[in-house]
Amino acid sequence: MLTHAQVWRGIDRLAQRAGTTPSGLARQAGLDPTTFNPSKRVASSDSKPRWPSTESLAKALEAAKVSFAEFAGLATDTIAGRSVPLIGLAQAGNQGFFDDAGFPVGSGWEEVIFPGLDDEACYALEISGESMLPVYRPGDRIVVAPHAQLRRGDRVVAKLRTGEVMAKELGRTTARTVELISLNAEYETRVLDVSELVWMARIVWASQ
């Protein structure tokens, strides 16, 4: 994942590449001129890092005619991205596709490039169906990290012993149960016994 410092460094370099300042880049993107100012990068009250919104970043990339992969390269001084295995969400429910840690086994997977990934265990899932609307739509691709530490509020992909695979928000967890909150209001929150889970992995990136 891109760090806070890398994202803002990428914006500064994006502005330089466009031959302007961060304020000028914001104007070109149709945003408030102060959107990318240094004063916006850390909260004045408690010095917590502030992130640019995905909307403002997308508008800046569009104005500069730069892809997100190129932006990630500017931000990290690395190649634009790394290849990761791509699996359809429906395939993920099949037996024998994953090891006990939730990483795909075997070879011959289709691969896609994602920027800013430093975890060698990451892989991508292509969303199908409507159970994850409006957050994820059919055709969206998400990257999951099986080894990443999970915390309440994280978006995760979980596989059950029934073969069902779902993307949810991680809620309250206990020694015996896991709460998985639906991203789609039309689907109910699930409270599962931990024995029902095969694996659960944090979503670290999405291509939408």
Tens of pLDDT, residues 137-152? 888 888 898 888 899 9
173 phi and psi, to 5 degrees?
-125, 145
The pLDDT, as a whole number, for residue 60 is 94
Length of the chain: 208
Residue 52 tokens, joined: 């640019």
Residue 123 tokens, joined: 């892989």
**In this model, does residue 79 exceed pLDDT 50?**
no
- Percent of the chain past pLDDT 90, that is, above it, reads 39
Choose among 146, 148, 130: nearest CA to 138: 130
- Percent of the chain past pLDDT 70, that is, above it, reads 86
For 32-63, give one letter per residue: b (16+ CB within 10 A) or e: eeebbeeebbeeeeeeeeeebeeebbebbbeb
Report field, pTM of the whole predicted structure over 0.75? no
Choose among 137, 127, 125: nearest CA to 86: 125
Alpha-carbon distances of 33 from 10, 28, 40, 56, 70, rounded to whole Å: 17, 9, 11, 11, 23
Query: pLDDT tens across 14-64, in order?
Result: 888 777 899 999 999 999 999 999 988 998 888 889 999 989 999 999 988
